[in-house]
Structures are given as structure tokens and as C-alpha cells.
Amino acid sequence: IGAVQRGVAAAALARRAGDTRLGNWAIVSLSLMIALVAGTLMMSRRAPKTVPISVLGREQLGQLLFSVSPEAVCIADSRERIVAVNPAFCRVTGYTEAEVLGELLHFNRSGEQDQTFFDTVKADLRRRGRWTGEIWQRRKTGEAYVEKVTRVSVADSTGKPAGYLTVSMDLTANKDAERLITWQAQHDALTKLPNRTLLSERLHRTVVRNRRDQALGAVMTVDLDRFKLVNESVGPVQGDRLLIEAAMRVVMAVSESDTVARLGADEFAVLVPEIDDYTDAERVARDILERIREPFMLDGREVFVTASVGVALFPQDSDDPAGVIQMSSSAAARAKDIGGNATVFYQADMNAKAERRLELESALRRALKSEQLLLYYQPIIDVRSGKVIAAEALMRWRHPEWGMVSPGEFIPVAEESGLIVDMGRWLIQEVGRQLQALAAVGHADVRLSLNLSGRQLKRDQDLGDVLALVAEARADHLTIEITESILMDDAARTQSFMNAIRDLGARIALDDFGTGFSSLSYLRQFRFDTLKVDRSFIHEIERNNTDLSLVAAIVSMGRILGAEVVIEGVETDAQLRCLQSVGCDLIQGFLYSKPLPAEEFLAFVGAFSARSVSS
């Protein structure tokens, strides 16, 4: 360094700056830089004793470094007035040298950092002669940027402060990358909405504020109904498009101060920081439901989707952010349970319900092993011949303490937990035994039907079990009832299952006809032996002409398709007369009989046929 001290380059700089004192420290600083470059070279080249660059004249070297350095260099005097800048400085700031000479250091500060900050920089320089850190500046264009700054204060040969040398590197590119990373950590890549992390953060702040201001806020979980099915039928690319569009619709339904986040595949959440009362939340939820219900155009096809919305209020329901989100999501699950396309507000007893579900599940596991499950049979009557032509097997659960648990309560639990697969195997065997029993008492012609869950077809193993068990029963007197949801799940698989069932001589009935999508294309695609018309059509049939016409239409459709039509849930003579007037003869309902225990059912069949024979 000592050798470079009298470097002509620095002297030239000093001359240009018109300040002789500058000469000495500029030399020191430039030599520092040279040493740095030399050091790097030495490290990379296994430490040669002589540095090749030393063959350059020192003045040339200094000038070269100053002019080619990619880092901005700025030299200021002891009063912080700029006396020299290099081309990199001009490139980064956008100012020409002439424009900045004589200006104060940081004439282009951005305002991001206050005077106190610059005071500490100065204090550091006084104390240690050196400062390193980040400074926000402003380019001539007005754009703010951040640079990593190293500044040394330099003294002249007598030790008096002479000025400052600043080397700085524009960090904006790096900062953008950093910001991008932060952004990605807080947003969903597909919809660009905030994710759970960012939602929780905002919710946390809002909960604290609302508690202080005694204000009410809401979190809504918006869960798309049957999205999995739609996704499978339109494919993942269109499925993604649907999600993005759905996200947009939710955003459109809320105001700007609300946060819409994506929590899971088809689950969104809305944070409404402030509402007057729950009706505000209700209104927003209704708007969301309406917008989602509008058809989605995918690949030129109209696709219909609905949503389930769950609402939790804070701090009323909970003032724990995670708790609030959890509550809104269990309310949404409840909305889905009741059929979707609905809004449900969180209620304290929902957790109790969830607990009850768990309790049911473990009790049901025991029930299967300890023979608490039994089958009831509900006769299906041919009104014209007056005969019991068939019966539907319906599961019952007699719990040692709770008594009879209705299938409406335990079948959903069995489906969700997968227990239905084991229960279903038992069911087919039991129905097989009952078919034997019927034949043994002279009613070999009476058929039995049983309800099949979609879960029993999902895995090859389970599907194979079903077929094997059907084969062991008197298959030609067995009917398998399935619902449309099975058809929608996996049409090809269901088709081959239905073919296999038919090969065994058994029949297939479409259950709850008219409640689902009941698209005509299903009837064209799949052949059914029986259509079971849902009870909801019968309810008001004697007063409701539309219902009656619909049932009449279903009956003639059945004829065309070669399927018999069974009407479920007939309770009154008036209903029966209406049905007969449109040609419905196959009836299942309380009018003739409730579901009966096996023994009583056998007795019923005997008595009923005796009655019709005698009459």
C-alpha cells in the first residue's frame, strides 16, 4: 500500500477535484481497492509472489479501476460535498457527473430513512472510520432503490479528516428476488390469492384490533361442492381454470378491504374485518353462492358448480385466529352435509356433533363385531296382482345403551370411515341367507334388494368381494340398488361392475331417482332393471299436478327403457290412487308396511299372499 501511496491516478483525481488534501486519502483508498483485486487474483492463482497487474502504471491502474468498476464510487470532501464520481455512479443514479459535483452526499436520498439514520452513519464513521450498510436512494427518474454502501472516512497525512470514499452496489435486483420469495411464501401459486399464512397474519391483527374497538368481524370458508368429480370429468387443466374463475368470483363478491385466501384445493376463505351484525355476513355469503352457481364455461362446455359457506364471527365465537378459521371450516362442512349450496353459521354445539361422530364411529366398529347390526325388510307390492314381489333390505343398529340408531345417522359415518365396506359384505351374506329362508318357506319367487355404497366399488379387492358374495347368493333373485353418485364417480368402472352383476343373473336398480342430477344421458348409457322414484315426488302428489305429471313421465320412460318403476314412500290411499291413475303399480311404503324384522317379514309375505289369493 505504501508503494501505491503516491499513485498518480489518485493525484489526477485530486487535481480534478481541485483539492490537494484529497490526494493522500484517495491514494490510500484506491490502493485498498488494488490490494483487494490483487488479493482475489492471488487467491485464485495459488499465490504468486508478484502480482501481474503491478506492471501497469499506477496512474493507469487507478484510473482503470475507477472507470470500469461496476460499483458506484463517490468521493466527497470533509464537508460531504461530492468531488468525484465514476461512470458506474452515473449509470446507477441517472445523473451526469456535472450534475452532482458539489452536491451533498445523499442529495438523492429516498426519504425511506430519516435523519437519525444518517446521523448514526456519521457517528460510526467518526468512531471507526468506516460504515457498511444499506441506504435507500432515489434515481434521477424518481425510482427508489437500495444499495449496499461501504464508506470510509479518510484523513490527510497530518491526520485531519479529509473526506469520504463511498463504494456502493445497487441491490434492487436482489431485493426484488427477496420480495418475490416473501410473496411466494404468502400466496397461492395458482390463484395468486393470499394463502393460509397471510390470512392468519391478517386475521391475527384484525382480531386484536376488533377486541380493542369492540367491533365484530367474520371469517367465511367457501368450499366448492363436488369439485373432485368436476375436476375428474373436465381434466386438471380445465379444473385449474375453474378454480381461478371461482376465486375471481369470490373476490368480486366482497369489498376491497376484505381478504380472500385459498386454504386448500377447493377451499377458499374470506376475512371481513368489520361487520355491523351477522346479516352483513349472510348477505356476502349469499352473493358468493349466487356467483358460484352461475355456469362456468370450460372448453365451450357449461359446467355447474355450487359452494358451501361456513361463517364464524370474531371475537364472538372465538378470539383465537386459528380457532376462528377452524370454526368457519367446520360450519362449511355442515353446510356440505345438508346438501351444499348453503350457508351455515358456526354454533357452539358443532364440536359436540363432531365428537358424537367420532363416538359413533368407534361404537359402529364394535357393532359390526358384536352382532348389533340387523336387517329389516320392507315389502314392495305389485298393486295389480296384490302380491309381495320383492323387499328392500334396510340396515338397523341396535346399540346396547342407545337402542335403535337410525341409518340416517350411522350410514354417513360408516361411509366416511370406510366401515361401510365391511358392513356391506356382511349385508350381502345376510340377504343371501334371507333369500334361502324365503325359498324354504315357499316364497322362492320373492326378490330381495340391497343398497350398495360407492365405497364398496372403489378398490378392486372390495369390488371383487361384492361380486363373489353376490355369486354365492341366489343371484337371480337379488337386486343391487345404486345411486347416481356412483355413476358419476367413475362411469367406466361402474359400467363393468354392472355388466358383471348382470352376468351373475342379478339386477340393478337406480335408487332415489329424481333427487340427483338424473341426467337422461345416464339412462342412455347405463341399463337399469328398476327405477326407484324418490319419496319427495310422492309427498304432495295429490295436490301437485307437476309432480304427478313427472311421475307419469318417469313411468312411460321406464316402459321405453324396459325398466320397472317402483314408487317409494307411499303412505296414503290418496297417494296410491293418484299413482295408479298414471300407471304406477309397484309400491313401497308405510301404506302397506314399514320395514320389518326378518321373522315378521316372512310372516307378512305369507299373510299377504294368502289375503290376495282369498280376495
**Residue ranges binding Ca ion (CB under 5 A):** 451, 481, 511-512
Q: Choose one: 106-114, 277-285, 329-337, 563-571; the region binding ligand C2E (CB under 6 A).
A: 563-571
Q: CB of residue 512 vs Ca ion: minimum separation in angstroms? A: 4
Per partner kind, with CB cut-offs from 5 to 8 A, the member of ligand C2E, Ca ion, none near residue 436 is none
**What is the crossing angle of helices 407-417 and 419-440, to 10°?**
130
Contact assessment for residue 227 and residue 305, using Cβ atoms and an 8 Å cutoff = yes
Q: Choose one: 222-230, 258-266, 407-415, 498-506; the region binding ligand C2E (CB under 6 A).
A: 407-415
Number of residues that bind ligand C2E (CB under 6 A): 22
Per partner kind, with CB cut-offs from 5 to 8 A, the member of Ca ion, ligand C2E, none near residue 432 is none
Burial class (CB in 10 A: 0-12, 13-18, 19+), 401: exposed
Point out which residues pair with 106 in neighbouring strands.
Answer: none
Q: Which of 453, 479, 494, 609 binds ligand C2E (CB under 6 A)?
A: 453
429 binds ligand C2E (CB under 6 A): no
Per partner kind, with CB cut-offs from 5 to 8 A, the member of ligand C2E, Ca ion, none near residue 96 is none
Distance from CA of residue 292 to its chain's centroid? 15
**DSSP character at residue 510:** E
Q: Which residue, 204 or 458, is less far from ligand C2E as judged by CB?
A: 458
Query: Within positions 282 to 311, which residues make up the interface with ligand C2E, using CB under 6 A?
Result: none
Site string for ligand C2E, 356-385 (x = CB under 6 A): ----------------------x-------
Q: Choose one: 50-58, 320-328, 379-387, 400-408; the region binding ligand C2E (CB under 6 A).
A: 400-408
120 binds ligand C2E (CB under 6 A): no
Q: Choose one: 83-91, 100-108, 260-268, 589-597; the region binding ligand C2E (CB under 6 A).
A: 589-597
Per partner kind, with CB cut-offs from 5 to 8 A, the member of ligand C2E, Ca ion, none near residue 562 is none
Q: Choose one: 123-131, 146-154, 484-492, 584-592; the region binding ligand C2E (CB under 6 A).
A: 584-592
Q: CB of residue 394 vs Ca ion: minimum separation in angstroms? A: 8
| Residue 493: all three cell numbers together | 368402472
Residues 6+ apart with CB under 8 A from 568: 532, 533, 534, 535, 538, 588, 589
Residues 6+ apart with CB under 8 A from 422: 368
Contact assessment for residue 319 and residue 313, using Cβ atoms and an 8 Å cutoff = no
511 binds ligand C2E (CB under 6 A): yes
Per partner kind, with CB cut-offs from 5 to 8 A, the member of Ca ion, ligand C2E, none near residue 489 is none
Reported as type and span, the H/E element at residue 28 is helix 20-44
Q: Which of 82, 275, 411, 563 binds ligand C2E (CB under 6 A)?
A: 411
Please report where in the chains the cell 340408531 appears, as a residue: 405
Contact assessment for residue 169 and residue 71, using Cβ atoms and an 8 Å cutoff = yes
395 binds ligand C2E (CB under 6 A): yes
Q: Which of 4, 508, 589, 605 binds ligand C2E (CB under 6 A)?
A: 589
- Report how far residue 437's alpha carbon sits from residue 601's, in angstroms, rounded to the nearest whole number: 11
Contact assessment for residue 462 and residue 421, using Cβ atoms and an 8 Å cutoff = yes
Q: Do the strands 403-405 and 387-399 form a parallel or antiparallel pair, or are they unpaired? A: antiparallel
Q: Which of 451, 479, 494, 609 binds ligand C2E (CB under 6 A)?
A: 451
- Report how far residue 259's alpha carbon sits from residue 324's, in angstroms, rounded to the nearest whole number: 15
Q: Which residue, 106 or 535, is less far from ligand C2E as judged by CB?
A: 535
Contact assessment for residue 93 and residue 110, using Cβ atoms and an 8 Å cutoff = no
Q: CB of residue 507 vs ligand C2E: minimum separation in angstroms? A: 15
Q: Which of 245, 465, 571, 585 binds ligand C2E (CB under 6 A)?
A: 571
479 binds ligand C2E (CB under 6 A): no
- Which parts of 192-288 are beta strand (E)? 216-224, 259-264, 267-275
3-class state of residue 132 by DSSP = strand
Contacts 24+ apart (CB under 8 A), 496-501: 497/457, 497/463, 497/466, 497/467, 498/526, 498/527, 500/467, 501/467, 501/470
Binding residues (CB under 6 A) for ligand C2E: these are 378, 394-395, 406-408, 411, 420, 427, 451, 453, 511-512, 535, 568-571, 588-590, 595
